[in-house]
Structure 1
Amino acid sequence: MSAIAVARRAGNSWEAERKRAFLIGLSPSLLVLLAITLVPAAALLVASLTPLSLTDPANTFRFDDPFGNYRHLLEDQRFLASIAVQLKLSVVSVALQLGVGLGLALLLNGKSKVLGATRTVFLIPMVLPPIVVALIWKIIYTPDVSPMHRVLDAVGLPVRSLIANPDTALWALTVADTWQWFPFTMLMVLASLQMIPDDPIEAASLDGANRWQLFRYIMFPYIRPVLLVCGLFRLIDSFKAFPLIYVLTNGGPGSVTEVTNYYGFIQAFNFSYWGYASAIAMVILAGVFMLSWLVGRLGWNDHAER
């Protein structure tokens, strides 16, 4: 047998052993993942195929019309409207988070102690529990106790409650969500900016490039993959704005702030239609899965290539 064949067989054997050791090392984590994600997801899927309801326990586990809940979703105007509300909230809030986070990252990109302390202050909203953030904005949006409303009244610009007005309630939620999560984008972009080599920036400056040209042609190509990943991650997380909606608007006024997961909550815990609520949850799960696939397809791959 030639030396090349021996080396190739040894390499294949080593690769097989490496994969086997890798799988053995991952098996505990995979078992935990199976227990806490796949098993509940399977139970949710099974429930979505039944008319599971506390109001009719005798017909709870019938499978004679397994797609009845999903068929009803296509005819449920309130469910379809909740998807539109979710899309508005997600798109606008994520766009604002990217814009505010990018702007502040550019302003705070430096190595002084003052900038370091300022960056720490800006991270506070992100580390607060969501319910605390919701209570803070509940106070801000309540005219009787709100410092914002008192200042507006003092300057002759009285404003009615933003979360009680159907025209402004959704945008008030968007501002609160943006305030809580713009630090995520700021932190990621700031880390990316500080990894940019100094040489291209110095060379462009010597060639007469202004600040906009430095950002457009030097900095932005470096941070574009990070912005894409941040946007996709925040888009996925925007489906979890439940605490803000529950505390600030309770889905109202009417249903103008009723996003899809809140509508599913109402169906499950207000009306006890657990099978129908499970179908709503499965639709949300499918949407989040698609966005997660986009993170891997467009975000990490692009970042790795760069």
Structure 2
Amino acid sequence: MNGTEVRKGNRGKGERLWSWLFLLPTILFLGFTALLPLLYSLYLSLFQYKINLPNAVPKFIGIGNYLRMLQDKNLGVSVGNTVLFAVVSVSLELVLGLFAAMMLCGTKRIYRIFTSLLLIPMIMAPVAIGTLFRMMLDGSTGIINYLLHFVGVPQMNWLSNPKTAMPAVIFVNVWQLIPWVCIITMAGLKSLPQDALEAARVDGAKNRHIFFQIVLPMISPLLIIVLMLRFVDAFKVFDTIYTMTNGGPGNATEMLPNYIYKQGLKFFDAGYTAALAMAFVFSMTIISFLFLRWRRHVEERVL
């Protein structure tokens, strides 16, 4: 090994060392704010601990809290509601967001104006959105019933009826997050190589064939990432549901985050709450891993 190679090797080691030194504050911050609470939750999930009892002492029960989940019928209902909410809302957001991106993908000024207007629901606070729609969907004073009255639709208690409460909260979530899907998808559409699209048009391909055979396969890795982020985020929805229905009527809109919140801050069962949170984090990690593997498989096939 000559002197030049030695100097390059030393310079490479020095650059890696400086890289880790620059990352060290972030690593320490995330360790104290994320990793330590996660490890403590894992530790706490092995105990029976009711924090509202005076002089309460944690009692070690091993995996008892995790076994309790298998017998918790209310947990099963909340998981079912969350899965239904996530699947329906994310599917609608992906389809409508992609359609909106195709419509607004032009370069004219009018498209930029509509894109700016489309961002309004996304930048609003979820609590404000939930409160706004709770008032709009009110059975007696809401503007939705007032407007539907003119087309002959009878008055409905949207958030008080178990049959309409879930569609109502799904509609609000879809309305709020379609712009996010649209913006991300629009960026992917604008990055497509134009020569392939022009060649297809020269060959006489119709628009639907260009979309399904060229555009959709090329942006499918991006759509999978969008699908993963939105699916995981839909499982975490809390503030909008809390302000609109708080899981009601009954448990018709009881989502998993809302159920965990009630176990911890209403029933003060810290051990069971920690176990629910750990199971939730583990499930979301597995789902994210499966999405990433799917994306890698699709990307290899496209390339």
Match of 1:49 in 2: 46
Look up the SS of the partner of 2:162 in the other structure: coil
How far apart, in 2, do the equivalents of 1:170 and 1:25 lie? 47
Look up the SS of the partner of 1:162 in the other structure: coil
Q: Given the two structures, how large is their TM-score scaled by the length of structure 2?
A: 0.92
Matched positions, count: 302
Amino acid across the alignment from 1:272: F
Query: Deviations for 1:58-113, whole angstroms, at most 9, x for unmatched residues?
Result: 443222x1221111111111112211111111111111110110000001110000
Match of 1:37 in 2: 34
* 2:13 aligned residue (13, 16, 34): 16
How far apart, in 1, do the equivalents of 2:296 and 2:267 lie? 42
* 2:233 aligned residue (231, 237, 242): 237
Pair 297,7 (structure 1): closer, same or farther in 2 beyond 3 Å: farther
The answer on whether the counterparts of 1:192 and 1:222 sit within 8 Å (CA) in structure 2 is: no
Asked if 1:269 corresponds to 2:265, the answer is: yes
* 1:76 aligned residue (52, 72, 75): 72
Match of 1:126 in 2: 122
Give the superposition deviation at 1:142.
0.9
Bigger shift: residues 71-80 or 18-27: 18-27
Give the superposition deviation at 1:302.
5.9
Q: CA RMSD in A?
A: 2.1
Amino acid across the alignment from 2:144: M
Asked if 1:284 corresponds to 2:268, the answer is: no
Amino acid across the alignment from 1:154: F
How far apart, in 2, do the equivalents of 1:68 and 1:293 lie? 27
The answer on whether the counterparts of 2:50 and 2:268 sit within 8 Å (CA) in structure 1 is: yes
Look up the SS of the partner of 1:132 in the other structure: helix
Give the superposition deviation at 1:301.
8.4
Pair 72,37 (structure 1): closer, same or farther in 2 beyond 3 Å: same
How far apart, in 1, do the equivalents of 2:4 and 2:231 lie? 49
Give the superposition deviation at 1:297.
3.8
The answer on whether the counterparts of 2:137 and 2:143 sit within 8 Å (CA) in structure 1 is: no
Give the superposition deviation at 1:218.
2.1
* 2:62 aligned residue (63, 66, 81): 66
Tell me, which stretches of 5 or more residues in structure 2 are unaligned? Answer: none
Asked if 1:143 corresponds to 2:139, the answer is: yes
Bigger shift: residues 276-285 or 116-125: 276-285
Amino acid across the alignment from 2:247: G
Of all paired residues, the percent bearing the same amino acid is 29
How far apart, in 1, do the equivalents of 2:13 and 2:291 lie? 30
Amino acid across the alignment from 1:21: W
Q: Given the two structures, how large is their TM-score scaled by the length of structure 1?
A: 0.91
Pair 208,259 (structure 1): closer, same or farther in 2 beyond 3 Å: same
Give the superposition deviation at 1:27.
0.7
How far apart, in 2, do the equivalents of 1:186 and 1:208 lie? 28
Asked if 1:248 corresponds to 2:252, the answer is: no
The answer on whether the counterparts of 2:83 and 2:235 sit within 8 Å (CA) in structure 1 is: no
How far apart, in 1, do the equivalents of 2:152 and 2:288 lie? 48
The answer on whether the counterparts of 1:50 and 1:60 sit within 8 Å (CA) in structure 2 is: no
* 1:217 aligned residue (188, 202, 213): 213
Look up the SS of the partner of 2:200 in the other structure: helix
Asked if 1:185 corresponds to 2:185, the answer is: no
Query: Deviations for 1:192-235, whole angstroms, at most 9, x for unmatched residues?
Result: 11112222222211211111011112211221111110000011
Amino acid across the alignment from 1:40: P
Amino acid across the alignment from 1:62: K
Query: Deviations for 1:103-144, whole angstroms, at most 9, x for unmatched residues?
Result: 000011100000100011111111111101111211221132
Asked if 1:259 corresponds to 2:255, the answer is: yes
How far apart, in 1, do the equivalents of 2:219 and 2:62 lie? 47
Match of 1:104 in 2: 100
